[in-house]
Amino acid sequence: MPVTIAPIPSSLPILPLYNKKVLLPSVVSRVVLRNKDSIFLLRKLQRTFDPKTPTIVGCVPVIRKDDSSSQTGADNNDRAITNGSAAGDDDDATQAEPTTAPQVPLHTHQRRPVRGKRPDDPVDSKASETLTVGEDLFKFGCAARIVRIERIGFGGFAIFVEGLSRFRIDHIVQETPYLVASITSYPEPLESTFPNDSELTEQVLRFRALAREFLNKLKELQLPDALIAQLQRLVEQAPPSTLANLLVTVIDVSFDERLSMLETAELRRRLEKTCDWMTRQLHLLQISQQVHSTIEDKLSKKQREFYLRQQARLNNILTITNPSINWHSLNAIKEELGEKDSDDSVSNSSEEDEITDLAKRLTDASLPEEVATAAQRELKRLKRLHPSTAEWSVVRTYLETVAELPWNKSSEDVLDIKKAREQLDADHYGLETVKKRILEYLSVIKVKGDLKAPIICFVGPPGVGKTSLGKSIATALSRRFHRISLGGVRDEADIRGHRRTYVGALPGLVIHGLKKSGVNNPVFLLDEIDKTASSSHYGDPTAALLEVLDPEQNYTFTDHYLNLPFDLSRVVFIATANTLETIPPALLDRMEVIPLPGYTFEEKLHIARNHLIPKQVEQHGLKEGDVVMGDDVVLRIAEGYTRESGVRGLERAIAAVVRAKCVEVAELREQSREAEYRSEVKLEELEEILGIEKFDDEIAQRESVPGIVTGLAYTASGSGGILFIEASQMPGKGNLQLTGKLGEVIKESAQIALSWVKAHAYSLRLTASQNANLLENVDIHVHVPSGAVPKDGPSAGVTIVTALVSLLSDRRVPPTTAMTGEITLRGNVLPVGGIKEKVIAAHRAGIRRIIVPFRNKKDVTGDVPAAVRNQIEFVYAKTVADVLEEAFGLEKGKERRGEGVVVIESRL
């Protein structure tokens, strides 16, 4: 039984072969496709194409009536295809070989007129051949495996197909959008010997001998040694069926003869035909050599044509195994012969048009001198490459990138400070300090006349408006805005691009942003600059940003992909970050940090009333007034359901309330009871809509207890809160135990606090003598509630000291008093951060008296909103003695001159 390379399905999609192309089994051929139906088929196959999984199509030659003399039927509608239809083979034309594949007529319902190209087809009109009703498909074809698919020109494809086996078309099963035919396959015999058929064995030996003689003649043409060696192996080792198919592609045979070879399924007949054609070719070669030897330098036109045709055909067979062949020499031979394939002509014409268009774009781009020189060098290189090579696509993509970059294209600056102030006020409520600094930044740009102002870095918790502030700056400058997300970037090449030596190389994020924005002076927002991976074996992307953000260096920024300098000095860079801890110092030094604190509840109330609620009502298809939320409802949502610095969670909660009202509207409409709809949202409805409150109100304890003091905290999310420091004593040996998932810094603060209390125990009237051990038989346990929440930082120092003194002296701190500050062993109180957030949280919790470090007074007066500041009494302490005096309400003691230490006279 004969075997085949791959199983052939009983039905195949048909790929028509135009321009007298014939594909035979075991032959690899390049086919250029520009017909609409074929391209539709290829696009469908490309989505699932995998070189490891055979993708099989049927390649069928297209025959015009005046191109073939093999038509023996009476008319065009019922044409019988007979064996041996090739012109010049009378024996085949008059009698059918019994072993040849059986012949069936092509009935009317199987014939399909090929539609012409419409004007709106996405296929190049010059590259798509207009077909008429007089054209038809040959009855036989070759099942082929798609080896490779390439895009060429504008909308075209080129594919490499490998013939597998012959087949006969039985009938058409699908006509649109492409042909699908039911077939009968004739597998290729792959045996090299036939021990059971002596006659066939003898015929194969004669065939190989003739092939060797033909090969010896080819050697005299001084062909490449590699080609001769390959043909030698084929002659000696290839099965006779495979060798016959390959030789037919080398021998100068007509289109009808190739069709005859395609429709002949029986091996004997194919060997006979191939031997006849080789004999004819050998005779022509002998004549050519005789003429060449007598008149060496006077080749006739016919002989030169024959010689060039042989060179072209042998070059074609070489491309099957050696894709690096010189394509331009092959095209030159075909041009001299005047028989260059129309597919190749269409392809080359399209590619030449593309190169011409690319050269025009490079000229119109007004490139700098250095860039123009490099671009022209690459363009000349592109013209020397063949479009089927991978390097051609790489060079073309590079030149397209160079042509699309805005080397000298800028947008006009229209900077109006008044308009900028109005824009910031319209886009953002509150943030007065931030707005003031942005206006100063814009004013410097306007007065100075250039853009070498400091690079701004907005730092703050999520959802406070860092990204939208960048957009507002771009709007105020009348510049185009582009956002570069740096979160998770871990490769230096993401910033500086990949070198073109890598497969799939692309420019970096900076050059890509310039290409997308289309101007060389946009506003770039480097979002989440603190999320870049600073330690990676792919390189450090933060180091690559150093050149980008340095005005003294970025005018010659060189991307690895371009390998050409690009001036970034006109780009306005704005960075955003949630924290400064992960930003390298060298990078941080190039930016001016502007902190963005979280919103107060009054600011959130204003934002929700003027922006969030109208936005959600509109997005959910309701009208203005269909949903009414009072200030008490919005405040309850902000306090009980969304404890955050920004307003994203608040917006999601408001959206949930609006959706609930949408459900109510829809149900009442279905019941025709729209008049009963109530637009106002009550406080009692929130629990039904949003569930139980996620956060309890942080209310200061009503009853004060010795050893418990209220402190202030700053959370990692950027919001503030209050916490309680609890101290307890028990019999022991003077040990200090700390609980509450505390960090190293807060543990050290507790040790400092205890040491200070022990050192000043006698002054505080906690011991009877200066040498007495305060904790001789006592252990101290300090606990910070919410034990699952990590806590760290030095700002709880004064709170721990007060809690220890309160415990050991049995004095109580008023529940409405809170405090914050770092302490030293000398008893000084140092400033801390997050004052605004801490004060707002204390106000929310009912605190009306706050002790803060003296050096934080400027933060209270400058950052804390007046509405909050007017309702709280602030006490500023320089020493721990000041804190204890204000906490316990003691009478002021006398100060020792020069020491600045308060001596507390009152007994505790």
Active site residues: 795, 838
Show the tokens assigned to 436.
């003031």
User: Please, which residues bridge with residue 802 across strands?
Assistant: none
Label residue 567 exposed, middle or buried (CB < 10 Å: 0-12, 13-18, 19+).
Answer: middle
Contact 464, 718 (CB under 8 A): yes
**Residue 847 one-letter amino acid:** I
The answer to whether residues 559 and 566 touch, using CB atoms and an 8 Å cutoff, is yes
DSSP notation for 771-817: T--TTTTEEEEEE-S-TTS-B--STTHHHHHHHHHHHHHT----TTE
679-707: string of b/e by CB count within 10 Å (b at 16+)?
eebeeeebeebbeeeeeeebebeeebebb
Kindly report the number of other CB atoms within 10 A of residue 671's CB atom.
8
Pairing of strands 720-731, 817-819: unpaired
Give the side-chain half-sphere CA count within 13 A for 464: 24
For residues 520 and 407, give the distance between their C-alpha atoms in angstroms, rounded to a whole number: 7
SS3 content of the chain, % helix, strand, coil (to 5): 40, 15, 40
Vertex 676: Cα angle to 673 and 682 (nearest 5) = 140
Give the C-alpha separation, 289 to 295, whole Å: 10
Q: Is 681 helix (H, G, I), strand (E, B) or coil?
A: strand
Nearest to residue 362, comparing CAs of 374, 350, 352, 372? 372
Strand 778-783 and strand 523-527: the pairing is unpaired
In 3D, which of 612, 512, 498 has the Cα closest to residue 563? Answer: 498
Token pair for 73: 């039927």
Residue the block writes with tokens 């000696």 = 236
Amino acid at 667: E
Rounded to whole angstroms, the Cα distance separating 407 from 395 reads: 19
- What residues contact 90, with CB distance under 8 A and at least 6 apart? none
| DSSP for 492-553, written as a single string | HHHHH---TTSTT----HHHHHHHHH-SSS-EEEEETGGGS-SS-TT--HHHHHHHHT-TTT
Nearest partner of 851 among 893, 901, 801, judged by Cα: 801
Return the residue matching tokens 């543990």.
Answer: 747
CA dist 163 and 508 (Å) reads 43
266 Cβ contact partners less than 8 Å away, ≥ 6 residues apart? 97, 99, 100, 101
Cα gap 584→179, rounded to integer Å: 63
Q: Which residue, 475, 478, 511, is CA-closest to 493?
A: 511
Strand 736-739, strand 628-629: pairing: unpaired
What is the number of residues in the chain?
Answer: 908
The burial class, CB within 10 Å (0-12 / 13-18 / 19+), for 764 is buried
Rounded to an integer, what distance in angstroms lies between the CA atom of residue 32 and that of residue 342? 10
